[in-house]
Chain A
Amino acid sequence: MATLYTVLTDFTQWLMDLIAAILDWTKLGILSDLGDWLQSAPVVDFVTTLLVAVIYLITVMMFALCFIWQERKFLGRFMDRRGTQVGVLGFFQNFADGIKVVLKEHIVPKDSDHALFEMAIFTYLASTFMLFGCIPFSDNFYVIDVNLAVLLGIAIFAFGPFSILVGGWASNNKYTLIGGMRAAAQLIALEIPLLLCVVSVVVLTGDLSFVGIVAWQEENIWLIFPLCIGALTFFIAAIGESERIPFDLPEAEAELVEGWATEYGDIRWGLQMASDYFRAYILCALFTMLFLGGWAGPEFIWAEAWFLAKTFIVFFFFIWVRAATVRIRTDQILKLGWRRLLPLAVINLLIAVALKVAEVF
């Protein structure tokens, strides 16, 4: 069966053979050796992986852009307005915005810490893009499927607050400083319940790879049914982790202008803004895989389509929450995280352990 990977391998092999043939034609010893090296298996494998990564990144980014579009349209409907109107169903607004932010001037505040200022946004975006690699679309379409994919994903996720804190500090602005502090406090407070919910899934399925977890759910039951408390806790914590209303304190525009990203302009700001949606996409995908059976579903459409459909439905609930609520305060978020979500997550973990010990599944 010709999968995307074998097609790409064949393509790379053909490309490398072509280059080697050209190099061979020059009759220079060193270039012939280079051609031989290019034809070797490790190089072909590496280039193929790069191609896969680029294709995957573009695919995921397109779907994440659909998230922005979905939010604009649905939020518009909730608010009794039409939402964006540019192009087909308003979909081209994202591209218009993208072009606009690319054309903006790059401004670095004079008294900021230049190196850290540039580095913080880079690491923030890099961690977001790395997360894309951890999220499979189906058991046929993924970049990596290591045994510890769940842990890897959560670990990369936890890198975000660090970048935000550094970025807020390096901007040399009071708003960004407070925004950065808030982001760090909030993300840590909500990350622990989030992680405990993931642990409960891992306990029950006995697997740390997403493909394994989804396969287990396909065999037994969608985990949202036995672990409904955990699913709810994960959902609330996920809204907080993606810094959306009601938990968008790090960039509460009524108090802190644009929060930790106040001083960023041009494409850095654009990508930071889009990054919120990328992260929301990743959390929705995590929710789908951990609780909603991932790409499992009747086989009249592709598994990838099932996965995306479920992800979009989860994000619809994100939008619903945003449309219905107001922003809450930092101390209230911390109280919610430590006093409500954490006990719920622990109870959920106990349920998972009990189910595992009783060997229900």
Chain B
Amino acid sequence: MTDEMWINMGPQHPFNHGLWNLRVKLKGETITAAEPIIGYLHRGWEKMVENRAYPQIVPLADRLCYGSSLSWNHLYCLTAERLFGVEAPDRAKYIRVAALEMQRITSHLTWLMAVGTDLGSYTIMTWSIRERELFLDLLCKLSGARMTYNYCRIGGVRNDLPENYERDVNRTLDEFDRRLRDLEALMDENEPFLMRTLGIGKMDGRTAMNLGLTGPILRASGVDMDLRKLDPYEAYADMKFEVCTHTDGDVYARYRVRMDEMRESMKIIRQALAEAPAGPVRVKVPRCPPKGNVVCRVEDPRGESLMYMVSDGTERPYRLKVRSPNFVNLSASPPMLVGFKISDVPAIMGVMDMCIGETDR
């Protein structure tokens, strides 16, 4: 045990959520080097969409991430709208904001579930999966699907809100508010959970920015960067909400940021549904966009996701490049891991919210 040794944690390992490999070099139980290896789930998504017409890509964009398919679906539609030079109607924008925030909550609850299993508490897992079900039901009512919604369209959304939707959503949010308090009590007042998370995987804001981290992990290091505020898209400019930050930059801070974000999302959902103006939800768009290129970025639940689209004037995109927040966050894992114990790997990597679908594309 005195020699250093490499340990493969993956591609088949209980701690991987998705198919990837984390190699860690151990001295005793302390990590001296780490190397994430990805690519097991590469489907050639970016190449594949070059042979599809623009509307055909919408359902494919869902498949980029199983945890938050709507945010990718929306990002594609938003990018395509800018390329086509159309704008979604106001009502569609508000509906999109509400749906996106519900998606953010389900995504964060999926993340919480993964953190629970990684740390060994199946109660956290089942409880967060239970709460997620509330929002899956709402999204199912809205779009007709539970996981891959295929809800956004280029130029709006597929359908208007169902009957009494705002009432249902508000009831669910009231219920979820209570349950979220239970969930927080399960972790914040739990000494073993604090022992596992406080002071682990520390990263200061400057390093995090230099490594290109985005999203909750960056905000947990005290950097106030949220594209919903900095570069508002859809109806976010009209929404009143706080950007959740934390100064510690450890695993607990990252956990805290995501929990706070769920509360902010609840606020946004209520506002968006209350303030949604009447009107159409979809506009007609031409078959082929003009020549040109466009870039668009949004705040995914995991960080900044970006699409760069080039059109050559035909009905198919010439090039579509995806920037996955997780791809960048994952490459920052070695500096987070080195110096900590192998037991900290699930805590550090679990709280990162891995999604291999969008990382490998």
Chain A residues lying within 8 Å of B342, measured Cβ to Cβ, are 178, 255
In residues 303-342 of chain A, which contact B (Cβ within 8 Å)? 323-332
Chain B residues lying within 8 Å of A254, measured Cβ to Cβ, are 14-15, 117-120, 346, 350
Q: Are A326 and B130 in contact (CB-based, < 8 A)?
A: no
Contacting residue for A245 out of B121, B191, B341, CB 8 A: B121
CB distance from B108 to the nearest CB of A (A): 18
Instruction: Tally B residues with Cβ within 8 Å of A.
Output: 36
CB distance from A288 to the nearest CB of B (A): 26
Q: Are B192 and A325 in contact (CB-based, < 8 A)?
A: yes
Chain A residues lying within 8 Å of B341, measured Cβ to Cβ, are 329-331
| A75 beta carbon closer than 8 Å to chain B | yes
- Chain B binder among A78-86, A222-230, A346-354: A78-86
Q: Are B14 and A79 in contact (CB-based, < 8 A)?
A: no
**DSSP majority for the B interface?**
helix
A213-B285 Cα distance, complex, nearest whole Å: 86
CB distance from A45 to the nearest CB of B (A): 49
Q: A246-B120, A326-B121, A327-B119 are in contact. Are A257 and B13 (CB under 8 A)?
A: yes
| B195 beta carbon closer than 8 Å to chain A | yes
Contact with B along A179-219 (1 / 0, CB 8 A): 00100000000000000000000000000000000000000
A175-B342 Cα distance, complex, nearest whole Å: 11
A79-B123 Cα distance, complex, nearest whole Å: 5
| B165 beta carbon closer than 8 Å to chain A | no
Q: Are A78 and B123 in contact (CB-based, < 8 A)?
A: yes
Contact with B along A96-128 (1 / 0, CB 8 A): 000000000000000000000000000000000
**Most A CB atoms within 10 A — which of B1, B118, B123?**
B123
A181-B344 Cα distance, complex, nearest whole Å: 17
Q: Are B120 and A248 in contact (CB-based, < 8 A)?
A: yes
Residue of A nearest to B24 (CB): A255
**Most B CB atoms within 10 A — which of A255, A329, A330?**
A255
Contacting residue for B119 out of A178, A326, A332, CB 8 A: A326
Q: Are B190 and A324 in contact (CB-based, < 8 A)?
A: yes
A174-B23 Cα distance, complex, nearest whole Å: 13
Q: A80-B127, A255-B346 are in contact. Are A325 and B190 (CB under 8 A)?
A: yes
Contacting residue for B193 out of A81, A253, A326, CB 8 A: A326
Chain A residues lying within 8 Å of B15, measured Cβ to Cβ, are 253-255
Chain A residues lying within 8 Å of B116, measured Cβ to Cβ, are 326
CB distance from B11 to the nearest CB of A (A): 13
**Most B CB atoms within 10 A — which of A78, A79, A81, A248?**
A79
Q: Are A245 and B14 in contact (CB-based, < 8 A)?
A: no
Q: Are A327 and B127 in contact (CB-based, < 8 A)?
A: no
Q: Are A332 and B195 in contact (CB-based, < 8 A)?
A: yes
Residue of B nearest to A182 (CB): B29
A41-B72 Cα distance, complex, nearest whole Å: 83
Q: A325-B190, A326-B196 are in contact. Are A181 and B1 (CB under 8 A)?
A: yes
Chain B residues lying within 8 Å of A248, measured Cβ to Cβ, are 120
A252-B344 Cα distance, complex, nearest whole Å: 12
In residues 252-277 of chain A, which contact B (Cβ within 8 Å)? 252-255, 257
| A249 beta carbon closer than 8 Å to chain B | yes
Q: A252-B343, A254-B15 are in contact. Are A327 and B7 (CB under 8 A)?
A: no
Q: Are B121 and A325 in contact (CB-based, < 8 A)?
A: yes
In residues 209-223 of chain B, which contact A (Cβ within 8 Å)? none
A178-B193 Cα distance, complex, nearest whole Å: 23
Q: Are B5 and A328 in contact (CB-based, < 8 A)?
A: no
Contact with B along A65-92 (1 / 0, CB 8 A): 0000000000100111100000000000
A257-B118 Cα distance, complex, nearest whole Å: 11
Residue of A nearest to B121 (CB): A326
Q: A245-B120, A254-B119, A326-B190 are in contact. Are A174 and B5 (CB under 8 A)?
A: yes
Chain A residues lying within 8 Å of B120, measured Cβ to Cβ, are 245-246, 248, 252-254, 326-327
Chain B residues lying within 8 Å of A80, measured Cβ to Cβ, are 126-127, 130
CB distance from A161 to the nearest CB of B (A): 16
CB distance from A237 to the nearest CB of B (A): 16
Residue of A nearest to B346 (CB): A254
In residues 173-220 of chain B, which contact A (Cβ within 8 Å)? 186, 190-193, 195-196
A254-B190 Cα distance, complex, nearest whole Å: 19
Chain B residues lying within 8 Å of A255, measured Cβ to Cβ, are 9, 15, 342-343, 345-346
Chain B residues lying within 8 Å of A324, measured Cβ to Cβ, are 121, 123, 186, 190
A174-B26 Cα distance, complex, nearest whole Å: 11
Q: A78-B123, A79-B122, A245-B121 are in contact. Are A330 and B13 (CB under 8 A)?
A: no
CB distance from A317 to the nearest CB of B (A): 15
A254-B341 Cα distance, complex, nearest whole Å: 13
Q: Are B14 and A327 in contact (CB-based, < 8 A)?
A: no
A297-B200 Cα distance, complex, nearest whole Å: 49
In residues 132-169 of chain A, which contact B (Cβ within 8 Å)? none
Residue of A nearest to B200 (CB): A329
A325-B186 Cα distance, complex, nearest whole Å: 8
Contacting residue for A79 out of B119, B126, B343, B346, CB 8 A: B126
Chain A residues lying within 8 Å of B186, measured Cβ to Cβ, are 324
Chain B residues lying within 8 Å of A332, measured Cβ to Cβ, are 195
Q: Are A326 and B192 in contact (CB-based, < 8 A)?
A: yes
Q: A75-B122, A78-B123, A254-B117 are in contact. Are A329 and B344 (CB under 8 A)?
A: yes
Residue of B nearest to A256 (CB): B342
Q: Are B126 and A249 in contact (CB-based, < 8 A)?
A: no
Q: A174-B5, A174-B7 are in contact. Are A327 and B196 (CB under 8 A)?
A: yes
A286-B195 Cα distance, complex, nearest whole Å: 30
CB distance from A217 to the nearest CB of B (A): 32
Chain B residues lying within 8 Å of A257, measured Cβ to Cβ, are 13-14
Chain B residues lying within 8 Å of A326, measured Cβ to Cβ, are 116, 119-121, 124, 190, 192-193, 196
Given contacts A79-B125, A254-B119, A325-B190, 6 further A-B contacts (CB under 8 A): A255-B15, A324-B123, A325-B191, A326-B196, A327-B343, A329-B344
Q: Which 3 A-B pairs have the closest CB atoms?
A: A327-B120, A326-B119, A79-B126
A-B contacts, 23 of them at CB < 8 A, read: A79-B123, A79-B126, A79-B127, A80-B126, A80-B130, A174-B7, A178-B342, A245-B120, A249-B343, A254-B14, A254-B118, A254-B120, A254-B350, A255-B9, A255-B343, A257-B14, A323-B121, A324-B123, A326-B116, A328-B196, A330-B29, A330-B341, A331-B29
